[in-house]
A and B are shown apart, each in its own frame.
Chain A
Amino acid sequence: MATTPATATTPDISAHTEHGHVTNTGLSNEKLAMWAFLGSECLLFGALISTYFLYRGKSISGPTPEDIYDIPYTSVSSFVLLMSSLTMVLALAAIQRGDYRRLRVWLMATALLGASFIAGQVYEFTSFIREGLTIKTNLFGSSFFVLTGFHGVHVTLGIIMLLSLWNLSLRGKLTQDRSEVVEIAGLYWHFVDVVWIVIFTVIYLIPT
């Protein structure tokens, strides 16, 4: 029985690229999977933001958002997270041109900016609790702490991811041909940033 020879239009699925197997789309499965995961994360944060909207202004006792929000403080936190997206993208640019020293500098800078954001959130949560707002106080407290808490957990996981990459690079296991690993971690980090962009506007700046 004759076999059909491979043609130019048929991808050779046994071949490998620098990022892994050749796929029909020309994209790596890992990158496609991260985008699909981020799509599902849109649904998660959409649900949490919707819940906040649903309960907004329905608390029968205080404190209310107007009583406790510190907009200048949260603005600085937002700025810090926004700038961490810049350092993340600079880390990707560094590994793509094979500059491993700058890769580690920018990865560590991103992790530190993320850690500053988390430290700010911990301080904010502590001050809210001191002012009488806990997750059990009222509907505002429940929806606020769950939404921002979930976001904080995502940032923390991102920091762990960044420090793992930094460690891999230090041991020489993160090379230029594996730059997509940094790109995929960067997608997650930028997504966490865009979620905060939405939270900062709809939760803090438009409280009622």
Chain B
Amino acid sequence: MADEHGAHGAHPTEAQYVKIALILAAVTAAEVGLYYTKFSESLTNTILIVMAAVKFIMVAAYFMHLKFDHKILRRLFITGFILASFCYFGYLMTLGVFV
């Protein structure tokens, strides 16, 4: 439940941190396994990007406590990240990298 400052309550316990780390390790192992399968390059690449996004979000949400901290921190980071992503994606599109 959000408090008056927008925080979302208690941080995970140590056992939960270990579980999150095990999930991250398993996703990394799956990424490497997928790299060697090569059944469809475009599909493989898409799944690899989704897996990296999952790992990124899990570390930011749980280890960096974005899920539990003040909402202003979430907004600061997510807004910055999205703006930076659009900025560089547009820049690469302009230079024909994805054509």
CA distance A193 to B25 in the complex (A): 13
Query: Chain A residues with Cβ under 8 A from B28's Cβ?
Result: 75, 78-79, 82
Query: Chain A residues with Cβ under 8 A from B67's Cβ?
Result: none
Residue picked from B45, B49, B60, B63, most chain A C-beta under 10 Å: B63
Chain A interface (Cβ within 8 Å of chain B)?
25-27, 31-32, 35-36, 38-40, 42-43, 46-47, 49-50, 53-54, 56, 71-72, 75, 78-79, 82-83, 85-86, 88-90, 93, 183, 186-187, 190-191, 193-194, 197-198, 200-202, 205-206
Residue B97 CB within 8 A of the other chain: yes
Decide yes or no: A190 and B64 within 8 Å by CB, A93-B14, A205-B31 being known contacts: yes
CA distance A198 to B60 in the complex (A): 13
Query: Chain A residues with Cβ under 8 A from B4's Cβ?
Result: 26
A-B contact count (CB 8 A): 115
Residue of B nearest to A78 (CB): B28
Residue B2 CB within 8 A of the other chain: no
Chain B interface (Cβ within 8 Å of chain A)?
4-5, 11, 14, 17-18, 20-21, 24-25, 28, 31-32, 35-36, 45, 48-49, 51-52, 55-56, 59-60, 63-65, 70, 72-73, 76-77, 80-81, 84-85, 87-88, 91-92, 95, 97
Query: Chain A residues with Cβ under 8 A from B25's Cβ?
Result: 79, 82-83
CA distance A53 to B85 in the complex (A): 13
Q: How far is the CB of B97 from chain A (nearest CB, A)?
A: 5
Residue of B nearest to A204 (CB): B35
Query: Chain A residues with Cβ under 8 A from B24's Cβ?
Result: 82, 85
Query: Chain A residues with Cβ under 8 A from B70's Cβ?
Result: 25-27
Q: In the complex the two chains form, is A201's CB within 8 Å of B88's CB?
A: no
Given contacts A46-B84, A85-B63, 8 further A-B contacts (CB under 8 A): A26-B70, A39-B77, A72-B32, A78-B28, A82-B25, A89-B63, A191-B64, A206-B45
Q: How far is the CB of B19 from chain A (nearest CB, A)?
A: 10
Q: In the complex the two chains form, is B14's CB within 8 Å of A201's CB?
A: no
Chain A interface main SS type: helix
Q: In the complex the two chains form, is A88's CB within 8 Å of B88's CB?
A: no
- Interchain Cβ contacts under 8 Å between A and B, 18 examples: A26-B4, A27-B73, A32-B76, A35-B73, A39-B81, A40-B80, A54-B97, A78-B28, A85-B59, A86-B18, A86-B21, A88-B63, A93-B14, A190-B63, A194-B60, A201-B31, A201-B48, A201-B49
